Amino acid sequence: MSDLNQRWVKSLEEEELQSFVKLIFHQLDYYKTTTLSAEQVVDRLLEWKERALRSDDPTENREVHIAFDDSVAGALRIGLPKHVRVLSFSDQFSIGPIDGLDQKEGMERRKRWLEEHINIDEETLFVYTESFLETLNEIRNIPDEMPIFVWLSDNSHEQTGAAFVDHLLSERQESIAYIHSVHEYDKHFEKVEGYPVHTGEIAPDKLRVIYEETSHFAKPVQRWSELEGQHTFLRIWCEDRVEGVAEDHFDDLVLNTIDHIQSKRKEEGYIKAARVIGELIGHLDQVIGDSFFEYRLRTMAFDGKLSLKGVPKSMRFYEVQRK
């Protein structure tokens, strides 16, 4: 590894490094469905690397882009011009309480819910409120003359996040543009069935084309006050809007997925939690995240609907079986 590459890797925060690796995995999965040669795939990855290594001088920022996932932020930093600054929330807006999220009390309430229900490492939880507040303040302190682009698509996670940003910047709407990534993707590229579902599945070079060619900017479909007023801990995308539902909304689907996996096996037995969740998410047209479904597996085990073998500290460490 060259000295430049080593310095760049060492300069990254852990979350940035994870998002970059996640982005590469996303795109490698996608390239399996294309006719690109191995050489072409390598050329594209090398191009991303060169863009990632560019200097990031804040004095050159001429516009701000906001995303709702670290991997999306990483893709935007690679794909967009050098003068762009990218901000992102490292969170999953389709789950957990969101009422009062623009105040520290609301952030702490959300943190407590995550701590009590979702398997998250202690370090992430320890800095959760401070990290969220830092991003919130960065957005609030964007200079008035700076154009803002918010990336979203039709799912409960990005639509809720975009509605939150719309609320935070309610007094400066004239300088905000909302880029609907999946709609714009369909205009410029051949769509593979079921792909993309959200912005995080779009390659950096395609995000740049969308950025350069977009002329129609669609705002979030609902106001923040409406979403905040649902007072639910799970939000899904249903009939072109975000709908708050009960936490057990997908429990029957989880159980059916276990039955389906079991039906293809010669012998009954425990099934890796990660396999159940992976198959479920692979067939679900929602952006909710594996951590929520892992929480539901644990809950159904505690409620007596499933047997559990192993230590449920992560979906990689235990197996489940129908009782």
pLDDT digits (tens, 9 = 90+) for 139-178: 999 998 899 999 999 999 999 999 999 999 998 877 899 9
pLDDT at 313: 87
H, E, C per residue of 275-312: HHHHHHHHCCCCCCCHHHHHHHHHHHHHCCCEEEEECC
Work out the average pLDDT over 39-43: 65
Q: Taking the CA of residue 49 as centre, how many other CA atoms within 13 Å lie in the half-sphere pointing to its CB? A: 13
Measured on CA atoms in the order 24, 29, 34, 38, is the torsion positive or negative? positive
Predicted local distance difference test score (pLDDT) of residue 230: 95
Residues found in the chain:
323
Nearest to 34 by CA among 191, 180, 215, 200: 191
Q: pTM of the entire structure?
A: 0.82
Residue 298 neighbours by CB distance under 10 Å: 20
- Of the two residues 26 and 115, the one the predictor is more confident about is 115
Task: Please compute Rg for the chain using Cα positions.
Answer: 20
Provide the CA 69 distance to its chain's centre, in angstroms: 4
Q: Return the pLDDT at 27.
A: 59
Strands (E), the chain: 63-67, 84-88, 148-152, 176-180, 234-237, 242-245, 271-272, 306-310, 318-322
pLDDT surpasses 90 at 309: yes
What CA–CA distance (Å, rounded) separates 134 from 139? 9
Q: Give me the phi and psi of 237, to 5 degrees please.
A: -95, 115
Start-to-end CA distance of the chain, whole Å, equals 52
CA-nearest of 63, 62, 30, 65 to 44 is 30
What token pair was written down for 219? 């705002």
Q: What is the pLDDT of residues 186-222, one digit of tens each?
A: 999 987 777 899 999 999 999 999 999 988 788 899 9
CB 307 within 8 A of CB 321: yes
Q: What is the dihedral of CA 238, 243, 246, 250, to 10 degrees?
A: 20
Contact 203, 30 (CB under 8 A): yes
Each domain of the chain, given as residue ranges in start order, spans: 3-228, 251-322
Of the candidates 134, 22, 125, which has an alpha carbon nearest to the alpha carbon of residue 70? 22
| pLDDT above 90 (res 224) | yes
Q: What are phi and psi of 128, to 5 degrees?
A: -55, -55
CATH fold, domain 251-322, is: Arc Repressor Mutant, subunit A (1.10.10)
| pLDDT at position 70 over 80 | yes
